[in-house]
Chains A and B, each alone.
Chain A
Amino acid sequence: MREAASKKHYRKERIDRGIKARSDDIYALVSYKEMWYLLFPRLIPVAGLALAAFFLPLYWQKVLVTTCIFAMLAVSWDFLSSCGMLSLGQALFFGVGSYTAGALNHYLHLPIYVTIPVATLLGGVISTVILLPVIRLRGVYFAMVTLILPLMLMRLIEATKILGGTEGITGLSPFPHTWVEITFILAGMWAALFGLRRFIASDYGLIFVSIRDNDRATMASGINIYAFKAQALFIGSCICAFCGAFMTHLYMFTGMPVFAMEFSILPIAASAIGGMGTLAGPLLGAFILVPLSELLREFGSLRIVFYGLILVICVVGLPEGIFHYLSRKYNEMERWVEIE
Chain B
Amino acid sequence: MSILEVKGITKTFGGVTALDSVSVDVEENSLLGIIGPNGSGKTTFVNIVTGFVSPDRGSVLFKGKELIGLPPYTVTNRGIGRAFQMVKPFFHLPAFKNLIVPLSSRRVKAFSGGGYGDKDAIALDILEEVGFERDSSVPYKTANVLPHGYLKRLELARLIALKADIFILDELFSGLSIAEVTSIIPVIEKLLQEGKTVIMVEHRLKELFRIAHKVIVLNYGKKIKEGPPKEILEDEEVKKAYLGVEV
**Interface positions of A (Cβ within 8 A of B):** 22-24, 203-204, 206-207, 209-210, 212-214, 216-225, 277
Contacts and interface: CB of A to CB of B under 8 A. Distances in A.
A224 B90 contact: no
A226 B12 CA distance: 27
Contacts of B82: 220
B46 to A, nearest CB: 11
A223 B101 CA distance: 8
Main secondary structure of the interface of A (DSSP, over half): helix
A179 B119 CA distance: 45
B17 interface: no
B105 interface: yes
Contacts, number: 88
Given A22-B137, A207-B101, A217-B88, A222 B106 contact: yes
B interface bracket (residues with beta carbon within 8 Å of A): 20 to 34
A22, A209, A214, A221 interface centre (most CB from chain B within 10 Å) = A221
B97 A206 contact: yes
A223 B97 contact: no
A210 B101 contact: yes
Contacts of A220: 50, 72-73, 76, 81-82, 84, 88, 158
A277 B88 contact: no
Nearest to A225: B73
Interface of B: 50, 52, 71-74, 76-77, 81-82, 84, 88-94, 97-98, 100-102, 104-108, 119, 137, 140, 158, 162
Contacts of A24: 94
A79 B97 CA distance: 19
B73 A214 contact: no
Nearest to A20: B140
A203 B93 contact: no
Given A216-B52, A217-B84, A203 B72 contact: no
Given A220-B158, A221-B158, A203 B104 contact: yes
Given A22-B140, A216-B52, A223 B92 contact: no
Contacts of A224: 71, 73-74
A219 B73 contact: yes
A212 B101 CA distance: 13
B93 A209 contact: yes
Contacts of B92: 209, 212-213, 277
Nearest to A219: B72
Given A23-B94, A24-B94, A216-B88, 10 more contacts: A204-B104, A210-B98, A213-B89, A217-B84, A217-B158, A218-B90, A220-B76, A220-B81, A222-B102, A223-B101
A213 B94 CA distance: 12
6 nearest A-B pairs in the assembled complex, by CB-CB distance: A222-B105, A217-B88, A221-B102, A222-B76, A213-B90, A219-B72
